[in-house]
Structure 1
């Protein structure tokens, strides 16, 4: 009788078969507070969950980095994110790795970045701290999520924490994100997203954002 392969072997086989959704295709934009209800109305008409309405969320996200502790890997930075639902107490926490944005071909409609998600217990923060990770920042997001086929659209207000219990909105607008998790080399997804994003103009302009360029601006 054949001996079953290890979980690691199974993971490698799945990656080689290109069946694991390990890349995120992403477009981002924003809409002013006074126009968000109009955008939500437009999304209700365009998305799949019309009858049930959009799914609301109220989450806290902590952003960690793990830096190399030897001279050979001192410049290596591993970004990790931990998210928990504040409005669903028994929901599992989520640990997420998000890689650097790959802008690639200028003709590509979206940003592409590596992304791996997994459910975990509430002890994940303690675990990451013991590993040597440090919290860079955290924020609260509250808003709505829509679905259109395999596309996910979120409209969220982002808050910073003030003390232990208070929060403060960081801007007078809502963050709008259109994303798809898919296996590698699924560039047809990007074209689907571009077509959908066009239907939301001029309320919101969803585009691929070069964060490296923003970081170099004076």
Structure 2
């Protein structure tokens, strides 16, 4: 099958032309009743404190592909698109397994690849053998602190497949995530993220995955 989908050309993704990027991550959670206090703290800590944080409401679909019939983790692709801005491109994301080779690391480190695609993305990934594992709606606030992205996200279950109006909160809490995308081998990021996370205590405790 041809991979000539606008914005997605898997046939040309080789080690020589795909940038070697890693995602550095810390995660925590906050109950809904304390969310406003965390937002207030982030407004003070992050860039552009005089402007409100960016809001998002996205639909994400998670696809799996088992490379062989034996044991091992399947390949996972994530397809996400904005429900607030439906004309924006879909985003295809690959996130690798956490790198646990260095136990002294302060944050989770994993390989990362992200690209914009056309709205044919769900059909494309199923045509090449992936199957839909689960889907959800994520909405919340996003802040920036230099190269770091900070999100507070409420996750909703989709009660009826295909109906994004029938939703139910997954829990009474929200996911708080700090992340930085940087070239492989970048030093000092973990310490910077740890220092920022310390300023969120005791409202949120950020941890490695």
Interval containing the TM-score (normalised by the shorter chain)? 0.7 to 0.9
Point out where structure 2 has 5 or more consecutive residues left out of the alignment: 1-11
1:170 alignment partner in structure 2: 170
Task: Tell me how far 1:76 sits from its aligned partner.
Answer: 6.2
Change (3 A) 1:21 1:195: farther
Check if 1:48 corresponds to 2:47: yes
State the alpha-carbon separation in 2 of the partners of residues 189 and 105 from structure 1. 14
State the alpha-carbon separation in 2 of the partners of residues 76 and 162 from structure 1. 27
Query: How many aligned residue pairs are there?
Result: 196
Residue-by-residue CA offset, 1:47-66 (whole Å, 9 max, x unaligned): 00212221000001100012
Task: Tell me how far 1:78 sits from its aligned partner.
Answer: 1.3
1:63 alignment partner in structure 2: 62
State the alpha-carbon separation in 1 of the partners of residues 36 and 29 from structure 2. 13
SS at match of 1:53: coil
SS at match of 1:191: helix
More strand per residue: 1 or 2? 2
1:176-215 paired onto structure 2 within 5 Å:
176-209=176-209
Contact 1:32 1:173 in 2 (8 A): yes
Larger radius of gyration: 1
Change (3 A) 1:21 1:138: same
Task: Tell me how far 1:162 sits from its aligned partner.
Answer: 0.9
Check if 1:12 corresponds to 2:11: no
The runs of at least 4 aligned residues of structure 1 exceeding 4 Å deviation read 8-11, 73-76
Task: Tell me how far 1:77 sits from its aligned partner.
Answer: 2.0
TM-score (norm 2): 0.87
1:145-160 paired onto structure 2 within 5 Å:
145-160=142-157
Equivalent residue in structure 2 for 1:78, among 75, 79, 89: 75
More helix per residue: 1 or 2? 1
Change (3 A) 1:109 1:75: closer
Residue-by-residue CA offset, 1:94-135 (whole Å, 9 max, x unaligned): 000010011332321100001100000110100011111001
State the alpha-carbon separation in 1 of the partners of residues 171 and 14 from structure 2. 45
1:214 alignment partner in structure 2: none
Change (3 A) 1:9 1:169: closer
1:128 alignment partner in structure 2: 125
